Chain A
Amino acid sequence: MTAPAIPPAIPKAERPTPSAPREYQFPRFERRRLENGVQLVVAPVAKLPLVTVAVLFDAGAVCDAAGREGTAQLVAKLLLEGTESSDGAELTERFERLGASVDAQADWDAAAVTLTALSEHLPAAFDLLGEVIRTPAFRVREVERLKAERLAELLQLRTEPRGLADELFARFLYASASRYSRPEGGDEQSIEALDRDQLVSFYESQYQPSGTTVIVAGDISADRAEELTHHALGEWVGGTARRITADDKPARSARGVHIIAKPDAPQSELRLGHVGIPRNHPDFFPVNVMNAVLGGLFNSRINMNLREAHGYTYGAFSGFEWRRQAGPFVVSTAVRSDITDAAAGEVLKEIDRIRSEAISPDELSLATSYLDGVFPIRFETTASIAAALSVLVLHGLPEDYYDRYRSHVRAITREQILDAAQRHLHPEMLQMVVVGDPGVIRDPLAAMNFGTVILYDTLGQPSP
């Protein structure tokens, strides 16, 4: 290397020490309730002339009947595809001429319609939102179109290694009777079978004033938010949505290797994990900090090992997916095909290591000071504040949850981390899912003696 020396003019500056941190509070919020049962949560935040409204319904994918998977997502999307007075194109135009960005979707636990608009357009946009919620039309043409769009999405998934790995990981993880084992948006079979009547009856049972929460964050007072909510939804009559609890039983009690064949793939999409724990588990905080050390941060053990020490990957991360029932714990990465077994071996080592000895004080302080310090940065936007309040509502967290979050994190000890790792990481239950080139990866993965190796096609059907 012919690198020039550092010019003498540039002095070595001492590492700066931080000044005292300034106080930060999660935005104050207030709860109200309309006579028809609609709940209201308002966080007035005067920063820019902008408001986000998120309306939550007890209408997540866990409410889908067996064989009708995909209902919840279709119903949510169809809310924006036409009301009794406006067809889909007109409705879209009415929102968008206000500059309002509006989206509707359903995840596992809830459906949500979310709107962000400039303050000056909020009253008109809010009224439209009410119309969408109270009088969706479910026109057959739009039902059939959205079904076709979902089928197109599923078709594309067959050649999309990341999405395919995620979808099939869920299928191999959960018992076949569990809603969690099937895609949130439904599969070919269930989508084909859905018709308008089924969607309307789902809407009628799950979209009810009681069970609906309107979250408003931004440049608005609580009184004004209540006024607008009342104007938009005050006339809405109905009862209470039924609450469905998902079955979260695992599919297997032994480890397994599931290879989805993508011949000639230059990389393997690798997923390693097992059924995790529900959001309301008392170990939430220790588990979260433990995961930050294991694979949650850029400087986590798994990413440093696979990316920076070995150059196996562009990135490797672990995470617990938080749902009302037990969502998955999963390590995700994409690695060069010829070292798939070595990369999986390193992940296993890291899972074993964090279960067998306490993490170092440095590792603990890195994770806790990150989660503590980054807290205000998570809530810069009206959309992110509304999302945080949605989590609070959805999981019934205490009202002071966000006020106490940082002290909870700071109080975590190394012993708690070790304990969380031992109780909530289960090496003996791990399922390994790999979308990759079987000619290159099958024998080396079998030689790991990790578990029975089964080969599948891209539809998840076992192949000989």
Chain B
Amino acid sequence: MHIPIVTFRLPNGLFVTLSEDHTAPIVAVNLWYHVGSANERPGRTGFAHLFEHMLFQGSADVEANEHFELVQRAGGTLNGSTWLERTNYFETLPSNQLELALWLESNRMGRLLPAMTQQKLDTQRDVVMNERRWSMDNQPYGTWMEKLPALCFPETHPFHHSLIGSMEDLAAASLDDIAQFFATYYTPDNAVLTIAGDFEPREARQMIEKHFAAIPRGKGKPPLPDMSLPTVFGQWKRDVVPDDVMLPRLFLAFRSPVFGSDEYYAASVCGAALGLRNGSRLRRRLVRERQIAAEAAAFTYDLAKGADLLVVDVMARPGVAAEQLEQEVAYEIDQVVRDGFNATEVERAIALIQTMFVSSMQEAGERADKLSLFATYFGSPERLNEEVDRYASVSTDRVNAFVQERLGENNRASLVYIPRDDAPGELVGAGAAAATQ
């Protein structure tokens, strides 16, 4: 599988990737701004995400709520999302509507501020506060999304604080903040634009120049503080959270190599070998054979700076206490550290990753998003075409070298949820006393 890729840069710094595919009359427009919650200043947690909401509130030539309406009227789908290091905005439309998406994106990149009002900010603040309640505060285990990074990154590190933000900080956000954030980060030289699907490249390039070329370059963004971290935590960190839940659940995190590095691919395969689908080590051992866990999974955060996280997520079976759950998970991890994965486990993991990857490339929106990702983090969307080979070349030895280096007791962070009724029971020396089998 080889995806055609053409790139160029406008004089104002906007980096553009084009990827043609004419199998269906569909086109995806995808814009990544290189700003996320990591760029927030103290006292403004959640602002990058609140700002993302404001980008759907119209711009100088687009009425409030018209953004969604115009795209949907055109037969398109759209959304945006905020992550620690980036914010993205995307539309998939019938291919004859390409220019509509480019115009909308350029209008909010170049002419956003006249549309910003206190009333819109107040409403979106309420919407985001409800999003917080819905996804975290009123959802069992929901707070893991802010507690895990808080546990794994030092307090001064840009990845430490909450992405959705505290209610207090959300309440403090002002229109001045909007103007400042917009001027600093929403500039063409801090963005990449990708078009994937059914379009004519010359025509697309003309449209891009017409709509984006006049938007002035930014004045540069404040540098992030030094984000580098030691390769391991240096200890076994632990946070125990009593919550309104019925079953204990453990998030066991390991500091791991940054997204896109050679070692990252070994970490990613390790995650799949541990927790992707039913044949993975933890599902087989803890869910199928020993029946300690009701569910088990593993994933990476895919952070490109400082350090990434590999996370194992295991839910206890009824009757299994949090202490036992943590001990049993640790026991399985210790076994992997001691004996390594065998070649079959690694082949299985890579085969599943490859099928998932090819499946995801069927969608224009997904192709565009991945091209934007590699363009934003590495200036090289062409890396998308290397993914299959990079995964295929991960050897069992490399996965086991990663395991040796990163899954030991000096690089673990346990975020343990316990049913509130069980509190304040204490977890004593859980991980250290692993081998009970």
Contact = CB atoms under 8 A, between A and B. Distances in A.
Instruction: Decide whether A and B are members of one complex.
Output: yes
B126 interface: yes
Contact of B130 (A9, A299, A335): A335
B139 A160 contact: yes
Nearest to B75: A373
A190 interface: no
A400 interface: no
Contact of B111 (A12, A50, A161): A12
Interface of A: 1-4, 6-7, 9-13, 15-16, 18-24, 47-50, 80, 88-89, 92-93, 95-101, 116-118, 145, 148-149, 151-153, 155-156, 158-162, 265-267, 269, 297-299, 304, 307-314, 334-336, 365-366, 369-370, 372-377, 379-383
Contacts of A145: 288, 291
Given A18-B97, A18-B100, A380-B24, A97 B348 contact: yes
A377 B72 CA distance: 12
Contact of B92 (A3, A116, A311, A377): A377
Nearest to B97: A18
Interface in B210-239: 210-211, 214-216
Contact of B96 (A13, A22, A88, A336): A22
B183 A4 contact: yes
24 contacts: A1-B179, A3-B113, A4-B183, A6-B113, A9-B214, A10-B214, A10-B216, A13-B210, A15-B100, A16-B99, A99-B351, A99-B354, A101-B356, A101-B359, A116-B355, A116-B359, A156-B245, A269-B138, A298-B68, A311-B123, A311-B130, A314-B135, A372-B75, A374-B76
Given A267-B134, A370-B73, A118 B183 contact: no
A46 B65 CA distance: 39
A308 B68 CA distance: 12
Contact of B179 (A2, A307, A380): A2
B362 A380 contact: yes
A313 B127 contact: yes
A308 B175 CA distance: 18
A9 B216 contact: yes
Contact of A118 (B122, B215, B355, B362): B355
B358 interface: yes
A376 B95 CA distance: 10
Contact of A369 (B74, B124, B137): B74
Contacts of A118: 354-355, 358
A160 B243 CA distance: 12
Interface string B18-37: 00000111100000000000
Given A158-B246, A267-B130, A313-B130, A374 B356 contact: no
A369 B75 contact: yes
Contact of A49 (B1, B61, B110, B128): B1
B358 A156 contact: no
B190 to A, nearest CB: 16
B154 interface: no
Contacts of B25: 21-24, 376
Given A6-B110, A48-B358, A89-B288, A98 B127 contact: no
Interface in B152-188: 175-176, 178-179, 183
Contacts of B73: 365-366, 369-370, 373
A370 B93 CA distance: 10
A19 B122 CA distance: 38
A152 B294 contact: yes
Nearest to A46: B23
B6 interface: no
A376 B130 contact: no
Interface in B332-377: 344, 347-348, 351-352, 354-356, 358-359, 361-364
Contacts of A380: 24, 26, 362-364
B285 to A, nearest CB: 10
A99 B347 CA distance: 9
Contacts of A48: 1, 358, 361-362
Contacts of A50: 355, 358-359, 362
B326 interface: no
A96 B278 contact: yes
A311 B126 contact: yes
Interface string B264-277: 00000000000001
Contact of B75 (A80, A153, A160, A370): A370
A277 B215 CA distance: 52
A13 B123 contact: no
A459 to B, nearest CB: 12
A92 B279 contact: yes
Q: Which 10 residue pairs of A and B lie closest in terms of their CB atoms, listed nearest first?
A: A373-B75, A311-B126, A99-B351, A22-B25, A16-B99, A152-B294, A99-B355, A314-B131, A96-B279, A1-B175
A137 B131 CA distance: 45
Contact of A47 (B23, B93, B139, B284): B23
Contacts of B93: 373, 377
Contact of B317 (A15, A152, A267): A152
B245 A159 contact: yes
A18 B99 contact: yes
A99 B358 CA distance: 11
A47 B362 contact: yes
B318 A155 contact: yes
Given A2-B179, A152-B317, A13 B246 contact: no
B69 interface: yes
A412 B393 CA distance: 55
A125 to B, nearest CB: 10
A327 to B, nearest CB: 24
Contacts of B284: 89, 92
A152 B247 contact: yes
B106 interface: yes
B140 interface: yes
B75 A1 contact: no
Interface in B112-143: 113-114, 116, 118, 122-131, 133-135, 137-140
A121 to B, nearest CB: 8
Nearest to A150: B294
Contacts of B246: 155-156, 158-159
B138 A334 contact: yes
A238 B73 CA distance: 50
B1 A156 contact: no
Nearest to B120: A308
A96 B352 contact: yes
Contact of A10 (B74, B110, B359): B110
Contacts of B306: none
Contact of B279 (A4, A93, A152, A365): A93
B328 interface: no
Contacts of B210: 13
Most buried by A among B25, B61, B130, B352: B130
